[in-house]
Structure 1
Amino acid sequence: MRTLIGFCCLLISGVNVHAQAASNSPANSPASPKAALRLAQEGHCKEALPALKKGLASAAKDDHRDLAMAGVRCAMFMNQPESALEFLRVLEREFPSDPDTLYLLVHTYSDLSTHAAAELATKHGNTYQARELNAEALESQGKWQEAEKEYKTILEANPKAVGIHFRLGRLLLSAPNPPADMAEQAKREFEAELAVDPTNAGAEYVLGELAKTANSYDDAIQHFSKATKLDPSFAAAYLGIGTSLVAQKKFAEAVTPLETAVKLQPANPAGHYNLATAYSRTGRKADADREFAIHNEMMQRSGGASAPVQQPQ
């Protein structure tokens, strides 16, 4: 994993600059944008940083990109993350789609994250925040048992730590070779999370999915509905309500939550298919045909199979 200094040295060393003789022209005055940029390119970051900030205030907008990029690199090299973020905000605001900008954003935020994680581990290694970060890293590496141990250690020290039961439940559902009672164990973790944090819409949603998988559709609808109350933009929860109602053949009731799901997440083919089914079974043929056509087009683009058109019953 690269250090901040290593990353910034790499960026700066990649610039091939030929030093020019100093002159008294405005372009070579220490505060001029061109002089500031040249200082940065030559590696004189201590002198360049204040000059780059002044240069941004006086330079034409076309020059802002190069000045801000140089500012990010120098700020990271000087271990001044706040200054780096100031320059990054200029790039994000003025050049949001530029590929060089996006590349620099990825690496800079990554290095800032790495630096913060290292500082947390060094200065506060025994805190639950440091343990949680370590558990997340273990989980991302597929080290399920080690991650589970870390999460449980956190709960032993702080039983009311928010988010930990949720992560344990998610871990149970994600890990390979789960135990036979995996669903029941996960359910207990998500319920424990809600006891600590009743506002966790994600926990309600997963409980809904577990209930739906067990064909307990009334319980599923109850959990999905709570999730939508906690987070009105939770498209998957509306879809969960709709699919549970479709499974119960309550097609008329399913229309409204499915319409909401499609509105919130129009790129999800499952929403269009289930809405088409609900329309078809309630006699709304034109609407059903439209939704089936959207679904089939999405599936064809992704290489999936088209769905058969449902007939009203």
Structure 2
Amino acid sequence: KQWDKAVQMAIKLSQLYPDDPEVLYHAGRLHGDIAYQTMQRLSQVAPDSVWVHQAAGEAHEVQGQYELAAIEYKKVVELDSARPGIHFRLGRVILRQEDATAQDLALAEFQKELQVDPTNAGAAYEIGEIQRKQGRLEKAREFFAMAAERQPEFEEARIGLARTLIDLHQPEKALPQIEAAFQLNSGNEVSHFQLSRAYRALGKTAEQRKELQEFQRLRQQKRGQHKSLLDPSFNPGDVTRQSVDDDTP
């Protein structure tokens, strides 16, 4: 009851003074203490449960300890292989490890995720991205399209589908996908670069030059930002970001 009163007071103060640093500090500390004690209690009452291992995996993941996260997620799979989302999480941390077999191992996990949850747009997207990087463009197109269909506001899926269509010599079909990506985020330099590629394939030289200039402007602007803005902490559930090739001017 004491915790309940404290939480209610913290919520009320946060609503009354949403920009007060001291209120935010105490509210954050209170919620952090409650979360810590709750996890401690969970580990005591159900030490071998899927909940404990998933919580441990997520904690390792946000700290960039991907090998440890994978160990915990695999324990969840052993306990409940049909648990929605767990194969996706496992695939993501495998993909983040520097291993020659990482893509193939992650691909298998993303495929398992779609078997468990066919609506998981993130898993479909990651399959598409791996297929694209491995040169299987028709497969990449199929899964990028699946991800975009299941989650229409999925910017990375739109960009991935567009660049794959360009590589398949279908630039006219890529244009609506890039336009959809622009509506979601007009400041993404990767979208402008892919649009310049589409215009080049269509023979629209002036439009290509304009988009390439905008890409270079945005890229230079991004390079000038603080590293913390460029490299945000990885959150569970994030997907692989679309980027331009390393040799792009």
Please classify the TM superposition score into its range, dividing by the shorter chain length. 0.7 to 0.9
1:212 aligns to 2:143 (yes or no): no
How far apart, CA to CA, are the structure 2 residues paired with 1:85 and 1:110? 11
Equivalent residue number for residue 78 of structure 2: 156
CA distance in 2, matches of 1:96, 1:219: 48
The one-letter amino acid of 2:151's match is D
The CA deviation at 1:217 is 1.2
Distance in structure 2 (CA, Å) of the matches to 1:203 and 1:230: 11
2:111 aligns with: 191
Q: In the TM superposition, what whole-angstrom CA distance separates every residue of 1:119-173 from its partner, at most 9, and x where no partner exists? A: 2212222221111112223344555444333322222222211222112211211
State which of 42, 46, 56 in structure 2 corresponds to 1:124: 46
Moved more, 108-117 or 269-278: 108-117
2:228 match: none
User: In structure 2, the residue corresponding to 1:233 is in which secondary structure?
Assistant: coil
Aligned pairs for 1:22-37 (under 5 A) are none
TM superposition shift of 1:98: 4.2
- 8 Å Cα contact 2:11-2:27 kept in structure 1: no
Residues 83 and 275 (structure 1), Cα distance of their counterparts in 2 relative to 1, 3 Å cut: farther
* Structure 1 segment 1-313 matched on structure 2, within 5 A: 79-80=2-3, 82-141=4-63, 143-176=65-98, 178=99, 180-284=100-204, 287-303=207-223
Query: Secondary structure of 2:174's partner?
Result: helix
For 1:123, give the aligned amino acid. Answer: V
Counterpart residue type for residue 48 of structure 2: N
- Larger RCO (alpha carbons 8 Å, 6+ apart): 2
Inter-CA distance 251–145: structure 2 relative to 1 (3 Å threshold): closer
Give RMSD over aligned pairs: 2.7
Q: For this pair of structures, how many residues does the alignment match? A: 227
Q: Distance in 2 between matches of 1:90 and 1:262?
A: 38
Give the whole-Å Cα distance in 2 for the aligned partners of 1:277 and 1:147: 38
User: Structure 1 CA distance, aligned partners of 2:18 and 2:210?
Assistant: 36
Counterpart AA for 1:130: V
2:189 corresponds to which letter in structure 1? Answer: P
Percent identity reads 30
Q: Which residue of 2 aligns with 1:61?
A: none
Structure 1 residue 79: Cα displacement: 4.3
Q: Unpaired runs of 5+ in structure 2?
A: 225-245
Q: Within 2, Cα distance between the matches of 1:155 and 1:128? A: 8
TM-score normalised by length of structure 2: 0.78
Q: Distance in 1 between matches of 2:84 and 2:93?
A: 16
